[in-house]
Structure 1
Amino acid sequence: MPKKVIELPPADPNIISELAQSVEKFSVLATAVELNLFDHFKKPKSAEEVAKELNLDERLTKKVCNALVASGFLKEINGKYSLTKASKVFLLSDSPFYQGNLIKLYKKTREERWSKLLEALKNGPLGFQGNNSVFNESFILAMAEGAVRGDLPKTVEVVKELPEFKRAKKLLDLGGGHGLYALAFKEINPELDAYVFDLPHVLETTKKFVGDKVNLIPGDFTKDEIGSGYDIIFASDVLYRPHEELTKILKKVHASLSDDGILITKHWYIDDLKEDSTAVFFDLMFSILDKVDRVYSTPEFCDILESCGFEVVDIVDISDTHSPSKIIVAKVR
């Protein structure tokens, strides 16, 4: 305790309060998404009306609505609540930019992993489950929602200007999941023969996004052959792998490219602990369960590429506050 009770602390305590409140705000938002609450406010309504529609406690529903107003997701006028621009764009289930599945994934990750941080610190990593059950439809939908809110359009803007893309005939989206990158590349270059390689059960969801516009190849790229003669292999957020496993995958990719083919990767990197804070926490999340590192700095990743027979020809920073992404273009050496 301070020597004098009227003495102010020598640092701003709001850094702690704001962090605690962000947890509370997210809890309210995740609960509202779980209830599909925002769809019920397409037209202004009272909290009592929505509580009756969803069979909720009226008093608590009003307080949740007030909290959503405080967070910027609802507006309140004369006892009626309505949507803000952000909630219309990101929280209506029929919006092309809906983020509900991604929010549910955030909540699941925080409950299943971050709650075990203290245990892992005391006893060591708790053991990484290497099965593929995590890649279910909800996960793929969440990844699609994360892509369309920024990284997908920014990546396409970079890739479409590459000379190698303009003359490419055959492209593989490695571990492409939802397939939206391959679909976007195909839309820009209709003559492109685009493929998505992913696990068989994942491709069942991929079909819902791409239809018959993109070719699908079932398999596990950590074990199976991925094809050959590709002008471009694209990999987005699938190469967070231990060094030895990553090296094997990259050598396989190298062998699957044509002589003048290129690899395009888009991933998070830790180059600055503050500027890349999202990647810092992402790395820590992995480490709660895993004994090996999976997130690299840009120079570390480039060194691994070089050791696998690639020459890095370009690095494009498309990062923002919450997505420290860089695109690395490497050609076969």
Structure 2
Amino acid sequence: MTPVKIDLANVRVGEEISSIDRVVDGYKTYQVLKVAIELGLFEWLDEHGPSPREEIGNALSINGMFTRSFFQTLDELGYLSGEGDYFGNTESATRLLVRKSPAYQGDWILNASRVNGQWDRLQDTLTETAPKNTGFYDGPSPEFLRALAERSLRGEVQEVTKILTGWERFSSAKKLLDLGGGHGLYAIAACQKNPGLHAVIFDKPHVVGLTREFIQHYGMEDRISVMAGDIVTDDPGSGYDIVMISHLLYKFRADLPPIFSKVASSMKPSGLFVSNHWFCGPVCGEGSSGISELDRSIHSYGHPLCHPEQFASAMFANGLVVTKKTTVPSNFGISHVHIAEKVPEGNSLVLHPDESSGCMSCR
């Protein structure tokens, strides 16, 4: 090795290092919150109330040398409230970090560093020439699906439910199909708003077990059932007043016409179809941060859907006429909702396609 002649006394690391420090400190802060959840700290405090630092540490087997700084960090984050040597949960912690809360986000937090998850293996994710297809019988774990459920409760389920209930025939609807429904929260919320509505949640065989857990948790066993199958090859039934698909079609972007045909076949005439997915803007990444764009790409099999005019045309070609397009908030930015109705047999309509759009890289 050739010696390098550098005057170390004159090496300067400027203020620009502060941005790197913030990144590293953010990682450390995440680890503190993650470990607090894993240790059951917030659950213990919810059960026992504000308690002495030493008592909490002993109960959770935390080395006393670290409890003061560990709890101080959580206090600074706004999740513990300290008074003297006593610590308790803040209102935010009780609402977001205690599992019995309907707004619990702990699984979503833990999912960010899940072993072999997309962020854990980011280098592999970035260098793969095509998104990894795990096959029909692999795919989302129960932990990941719980995380998705928590994410969807940040406003997406609520806004999609508003769209459904705003349909003029919603109160008279009797049957709903949620294709690829996973956790089932969209169907559960819809049934809560219409006491006469029954739903079927269709998903992979290894997913529907968790779906049943969510249905039971919300006391909907008598009105919501599950059906295991493959959206490409299996028949989800017919006679549905409403069919929904949320964030499922990214990996089927080349097979949209046959899927829309299956959707139309399952619906009653003049039934409602609601599609909820991310789409590119005219330029990918426009209007959102880089980290949000990357997160969205990772969770949409490498890329959101493109060309919304072709998306609507594929619906129309299979008897589904888009009557409204709107957006709803999601954890990864704006999600686009297409609302369509099934054309009754014998009716003919002329399609007026939207002006071409979609990201430049996909044209």
TM-score, normalising length from structure 2? 0.77
Q: Percent identity?
A: 28
1:233 to 240, 243, 246: 243
Which position in structure 1 is the counterpart of 2:327?
317
Deviates more, 1:69-78 or 1:268-277: 268-277
* CA drift at 1:298: 4.8
* Deviations 1:180-208 (CA, angstroms, capped at 9, x unpaired): 22222122222223221122332222223
Alignment-derived partner of residue 273 in structure 1 = 285
Q: Does 1:155 align with 2:165?
A: no
Query: 1:91 matched to which residue of 2?
Result: 97
- Whole-angstrom CA distance in 1 between matches of 2:264 and 2:152: 26
Counterpart residue type for residue 298 of structure 2:
M
Quick check: 27-36 or 140-149, which moved more?
140-149
TM-superposed CA distance for 1:269, in Å, is: 3.0
By how many angstroms is 1:78 displaced?
A: 0.8
- Choose 266-275 or 97-106, whichever is displaced more: 266-275
Q: Give the 5 Å matches for 1:28-177.
A: 28-42=32-46, 43-108=49-114, 112-119=117-124, 121=126, 124-125=129-130, 127-177=132-182
Deviates more, 1:270-279 or 1:163-172: 270-279
Q: Which residue number in structure 1 is paired with residue 28 of structure 2?
A: 24
Aligned partner of residue 262 in structure 1, secondary structure: strand
Structure 1 residues 19 and 329: alpha-carbon distance in aligned structure 2, compared to 1, 3 A threshold: farther
- Alignment CA distance shift 1:29-1:119 (3 Å): same
| C-alpha deviation, 1:88, in angstroms | 0.8
CA distance in 2, matches of 1:284, 1:66: 36
What letter is aligned with 1:282?
D
SS in 2 for 1:263: strand
1:196 to 198, 201, 204: 201
Q: Which is richer in helix?
A: 1
Query: Which moves more between the two structures, 205-214 or 121-130?
Result: 121-130
Residue 97 and residue 227 in structure 1: after superposition, are their counterparts in 2 closer, same or farther (change >3 A)? Answer: same
Counterpart of 2:268?
Answer: 258
Quick check: 1:183–1:213 contact (8 Å CA) kept in 2?
Answer: no
Amino acid at match of 1:37: L
- Structure 2 unaligned blocks of 5 or more: 1-9, 216-220, 344-363
Partner of residue 340, structure 2: 330
Contact 2:202 2:229 in 1 (8 A): yes
Contact 1:279–1:324 at 8 Å: present in 2 too? no
Pick aligned residue for 1:214 from 224, 235, 249: 224
Structure 1 pair 68–284 and aligned structure 2 pair: CA distance change class (3 A): same
Distance in 1 separating the partners of 2:85 and 2:286: 42
Count of equivalent residues: 324
Q: Identify which range, 191-200 or 277-286, moves more after superposition.
A: 277-286
Q: Which runs of 4+ in 1 moved over 6 A?
A: 4-9
Normalising to structure 1: TM-score of the pair? 0.83
Distance 1:269 1:70, change over 3 A: farther
CA distance in 2, matches of 1:118, 1:71: 30
1:61/1:224 CA distance change after superposition, 3 Å: farther
| Counterpart Cα distance in 2 of 1:199 and 1:122 | 28
Question: CA 1:200–1:126 in structure 2 vs 1: closer, same or farther (change >3 Å)?
Answer: closer
Deviations 1:254-313 (A, max 9, x none): 2222221221022233336253446522344258xx6x6454465564454445543221
**Over aligned residues, Cα RMSD in angstroms?**
3.1
Decide whether aligned partners of structure 1 residues 18 and 154 sit closer, same or farther in structure 2, where only a CA change above 3 A counts.
Answer: farther
Instruction: Tell me how far apart the structure 2 counterparts of residues 94 and 32 of structure 1 sit (CA, whole Å).
Output: 16
